[in-house]
Structure 1
Amino acid sequence: MGKKLTALFLAVMLLAVLVTGCGSSNSGAQSSGGQKFINIATGGTAGTYYPLGAALAEIWNSNIKGANATAQSTGASVANINLLKDGKVDVIFVQNDIAYYAANGTEMFKEKKYEDIRGLATLYPETIQIVALESKGINTVEDLKGKKVAVGAAGSGTEANARQILAAAGITYNDINVQYLSFSEAANNLKDGNIDAAFLTAGFPTAAVQDISAQHKIKLIPVDDTLADKIIKQYPFYTKTVIPANTYNGQTDDVKAVSVMSMLAVSSKMDEDTAYNLVKTMYEHLDRIAAAHAAGKMIKPENGQQGMSITLHPGAEKYFKEKK
């Protein structure tokens, strides 16, 4: 009888351990056996988010006790917010405009508001590049009237960027021959001369634009200060950016533009200490991040709140206050 009781006791204890190990701390990062699992949602493997996410996983695993971080390839910003909302990931890479739409229930998140999203840090600018073939005689945003313009895929972040910039310049889709094309489709159609101009949101230099400029004379259409101020007043997630001369073949002058910022976001459920340690440890190992991708060289603590479009997580807020 004693042996049966002992066996029963051991079975109950084993079940308790299994249940505890499979459970979640509901803190925004799952815990098990002293380990804190941190799933990082990035983007496509050929993009910028994935290598930076892999670098962050390596940094956090090596420098935060108990951290077990992994980067996973995803459909990027919009998909990442949905993964975070569903509790399937703990940290996401996302554009600050897309995060703003989610937090406020606008654009592609209309009627799908996600109030629990919180910012960790903004990272680097993703510039809205308005690229035209030089032969089309387009020199200003206003000159896009009557032209065949690619504005991004329907419902995409780029399409929202294009619509907002055009509206600030007094232009509606009725004033242009609008083309709903994805990034790659817009680049290919511009290269083939099927469209006159395209809105492309990406860090520069962008390989697709470099490819176009190697075959055609292109013109980067500026967003001057007056127009930029008007845009930023209405949409605070934009920031002013200068695309330096010679970024692309034949581009001899600096070009003024506006950018959205790439950023890291988490759930409000993540505990303050975890969020604080993630931010602090990231900034303490910027050399590793810079080695992962050229965009990593722009990630600095003094820029970590530039263009922050959503409520900062208390853990991140604690870090930035200490840095002042």
Structure 2
Amino acid sequence: MIPPLSGRRNWTDKLLKLPYKCLSFIYKPQNIFLLFSGLAGGIILSGLSGCSQKPNSVTLSTGTVGSYYHRLGEQINYSTTTTVGLSVRNIDSQGSQENLQRLLNHQVDFAIAQLDVANEAMRKGKVKAVAILAKEYVHIIVPKNSGINTFDDLQGKRVAVGTPGSGILFTARQLIQADKLKVQEDTSNFDEAFKKLQSRQVDAIIYVGSLGANENLRQIFVKNSNMTLLPIRTALINNLTVLDPSSYESATLPLGTYASRPPIPNRKLPTLSTATVLVTRPDMNRRTVGLVTWSILSTARTYAQFYPEIQSSKAEELMRKELFYIHPAAEAVFDHGDPRTVIIRYWENNNDLQAGVFILVTTSVIGLLLRQWHRQKSKKIMTTTNNRISELKSLLPDHPQQALESIEDLSQENRLTFIEGLVSTEVYEQLRHKTQTFADQCRTLIEQQRKKLVMDTLLLLDEWQASLQTDPEAALQKLKQIKQHYRDMLLSDQVDIEAYVELMNLTLISLMTLAPKSSPVHSDSENKKQNISN
């Protein structure tokens, strides 16, 4: 049976442990929409699937009446009728090869076959597995004291290899060919073959079947203690398992499997095994495949008579182990359970999903409120920026340097706001464009004023030069006025410190180059020269 999922945990603990990064996902409305759309769509589809018309019965090719395969087919019918209300009609056959051919010819819906028989069709994509129902072991039966002690001793002997169309015949020929033996084949059914073995008309019987599932075989060993089982050489086992690992695996027939006194076999015997697998076609109705798979899996313990390991291991692992070509619908059942109520059942048993949906429901409202708050915040920041730029425009003509510093401070504030996630990238780009445009205007005006100051300075120096030749005292006063003018512009932020130094250097250079070497006022006082240079 499928193990139950974990018990219900406290939702409060889950909420406290929820990573904060979930909020960034939930905040996006498109993610919420996709999640709820997917959940709702899955529930709707599941409901529609549950209401859709399903077949009342399917056909299954098994084996001869009373055989292991036929009894296995009856068990499958019991599982489907009691769990999903689906009847399985059991069709007699000679065994695996005939079952597989019927399936390929669309004569039946499902078939029971040995894995080694079905594997080639699986590789070609013609057949898909549904579930492993048992393991079948190779038995080599011979009379005691026959002189046949190993499988290799069958060279040239008369060997019953199974009936035409059976899986036994297929596996027997694989063994014989792999060991390069030449034998005289007898294709009698098992009962006839055993009578021939007792009368020495055949020397050995090759049988492939589940341990203990063939009650007839068990009774034969109990009543005929003169019969024994042969081991298969390890090298031959390895050869087949390496060549076809998806079909065969090494196995051991346990001591005393069929009789305890004397024990048969009388020691652990190395042999080969292959799986008994329920197969169907790839185009088989997915819902039907899912229902059949679920009915078997949910009643797995009843298959222990064919598959003893199920008693002590997880059925969903054993029934899909080593299956490479499993039908998608069967795989979905192994992964998720009953196909009829997979969404609802998953919801009821998945506390994390319930907690997640609860969180989404509660936080989606918060997310929308946060989004609205972000819109209002962005709008407010945009309005504040526009108003601030309008104020700075009135400052621009007289104090461009101050306006530039203010707009750069505002730009930095907007950048920090963007880093903190309070505005979107789109809004931030709009803000940056507005502040950058105004800052460029400030820099342009500052450059224009600087050029004008240079020109004004040159004109003042021309006037000063003219007055220096005619009226040195007036020239001295003029120079003081020019220097004071520079200081006033610096203090009023009409020029920056670099422009101020440039103007002062230009004035001093002009003084040194344009002052006459012999000045009428030279004799007045050395202090006056010092005053002019200052």
The aligned amino acid for 1:303 is: L
Indicate the larger mover: 297-306 or 259-268.
Answer: 297-306
Alpha-carbon shift at residue 283 of structure 1 (Å)? 1.3
Deviations for 1:112-150, whole angstroms, at most 9, x for unmatched residues? xx8431100111112221111121122222222243322
Q: Are residue 304 (structure 1) and residue 314 (structure 2) matched?
A: no
Aligned length: 275
Q: Which amino acid in 1 is paired with 2:80?
A: W
CA drift of 1:154 comes to 5.1
Structure having the higher strand fraction is 1
Q: CA deviation at 1:233?
A: 1.6
Separation (CA, whole Å) in 2 of partners of 1:50 and 1:163: 23
The change in CA–CA distance for 1:307 and 1:257 in structure 2 (over 3 A counts) is farther
CA–CA distance in 2 between the matches of 1:221 and 1:48?
22
Q: What 5-or-longer segments of structure 1 have no aligned partner?
A: 1-30, 105-113
Shift of 1:313: 0.6
Q: Distance in 2 between matches of 1:47 and 1:152?
A: 13
- Give the match for residue 226 of structure 1: 235
1:21 alignment counterpart: none
Secondary structure (helix, strand or coil) at the match of 1:128 reads: strand
2:249 maps to what in 1? 239
Which of 48, 54, 59 is matched with 1:39 structurally? 59
Distance 1:86 1:164 in 2: 25
Paired residue secondary structure (2:306): helix
Preserved contact between residue 191 and residue 216 of structure 1 (Cα < 8 Å): no
Distance 1:135 1:188 in 2: 18
Distance (Å, rounded) in 2 between the aligned partners of 1:34 and 1:151 = 41
Cα distance in 2, alignment partners of residues 212 and 264 from structure 1: 29
Partner of 2:102: 83
Distance 1:281 1:316 in 2: 11
1:168-247 alignment runs, 5 A limit: 168-169=178-179, 171-173=180-182, 176-205=183-212, 206=214, 207-208=216-217, 210-212=219-221, 214-236=223-245, 237-247=247-257
Q: Give the CA deviation at 1:258.
A: 0.8
Alpha-carbon separation, structure 1, partners of 2:296 and 2:165: 32
Amino acid at match of 1:94: A
Aligned partner letter, 1:199: I
Aligned equivalent of 1:17 = none
Query: What's the CA shift for 1:199?
Result: 0.8
Q: Measure how far apart 1:230 and its partner are.
A: 0.7
Is 1:70 matched up with 2:122?
A: no
Deviations 1:172-199, CA, capped at 9 Å, x for gaps: 22xx344343323322111222222121
1:150 aligned residue: 160
Question: What per-residue deviation string (whole Å, max 9, x for no partner) do you get for residues 246-297 of structure 1?
Answer: 123432212121122211111111243432332233111123444xxx2154
Q: Residues of 2 paired with 1:34 and 1:194: CA distance?
A: 52
- List runs of 5+ in structure 2 lacking aligned partners: 1-50, 338-534
Q: Answer yes or no: is 1:137 the counterpart of 2:151.
A: no
**Cα distance, 1:217 vs. partner?**
1.8
Matches within 5 A, 1:8-27: none
Query: Per the alignment, do residues 35 and 147 of structure 1 end up closer, same or farther by CA in structure 2, a change over 3 Å counting?
Result: closer
Q: Identity across aligned pairs (percent)?
A: 24
- Quick one: distance in 2 between partners of 1:313 and 1:115? 10
Q: Distance in 2 between matches of 1:47 and 1:194?
A: 24
Q: d(CA) in 2 for partners of 1:129 and 1:88? A: 31
- 2:86 is paired with a residue whose SS is strand
Do the aligned partners of 1:133 and 1:216 also contact (CA within 8 Å) in 2? no
Please tell me whether the aligned partners of residues 239 and 260 of structure 1 are also in contact (alpha carbons under 8 angstroms).
Answer: yes
Q: Check whether the contact 1:40–1:69 (CA below 8 A) recurs between aligned residues.
A: no
Alpha-carbon distance change, 59 to 48 in structure 1, aligned in 2, over 3 angstroms: same
Partner residue, 1:253: 267
Q: Are residues 141 and 321 of structure 1, via their aligned partners in 2, closer, same or farther at CA, if it must alter by over 3 Å?
A: same
Q: Distance in 1 between matches of 2:226 and 2:54?
A: 58
Contact 2:163-2:187 within 8 A present in 1 as well:
yes
Mapped partners of 1:181, 1:102: distance in 2: 27
SS at match of 1:44: coil
More helix by share: 2
Tell me what 1:13 maps to: none
**1:295 aligns to what?**
306
Does the 8 A contact of 1:190 with 1:212 survive in 2?
no
- The structure number with the bigger radius of gyration is 2
TM-score of the pair, normalised by structure 2: 0.47
**Cα 1:80–1:189, aligned 2, differ >3 Å: closer, same or farther?**
same
Q: Label 1:85 to 1:155 Cα distance change in 2 as closer, same or farther (>3 A).
A: closer
Instruction: Classify 1:189/1:102 alpha carbon distance in 2 versus 1 (closer, same or farther; 3 Å).
Output: farther
